[in-house]
C-alpha cells in the first residue's frame, strides 16, 4: 500500500497522467475510508474524507493544468 501511495504521489508531482493518477488516488482513499468505517474508526474516517474531498477538487481543476504530460487522457 505504501509503495502504491508513493508511486501515485510521484506520478502526480511530475505531472504524468494527472487525471488517471488522481482518479486512482481517489479510489484508493475511498477504499481505505470504507475499511475504516467498517472498523468504526471515526477519527481516521474524518482524515481520509478530507483527502478524498481535496482529490475530488483537484480532479475538477485538472482541465486548467498547463504543465502536465499527457493531459488529454
- Give every CB contact of residue 7 below 8 A, 6+ residues apart in sequence: none
pLDDT at 30: 92
pLDDT at 52: 92
Distance CA 62, CA 34 (A): 26
pLDDT at 62: 87
This prediction's pTM:
0.84
Q: What is the pLDDT along the chain (73 residues), one digit of tens a residue?
A: 889 999 999 998 888 888 999 999 999 999 999 999 999 888 889 899 899 999 999 999 988 888 887 766 5
pLDDT at 71: 64
Amino acid at each position: 500500500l505504501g509503495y502504491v501511495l508513493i508511486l501515485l504521489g510521484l506520478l502526480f508531482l511530475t505531472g504524468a497522467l494527472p487525471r488517471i493518477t488522481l482518479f486512482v488516488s481517489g479510489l484508493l482513499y475511498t477504499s481505505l475510508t470504507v475499511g475504516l468505517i467498517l472498523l468504526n474508526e471515526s477519527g481516521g474516517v474524518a482524515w481520509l474524507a478530507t483527502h478524498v474531498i481535496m482529490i475530488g477538487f483537484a480532479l475538477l481543476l485538472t482541465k486548467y493544468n498547463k504543465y502536465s504530460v499527457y493531459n488529454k487522457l
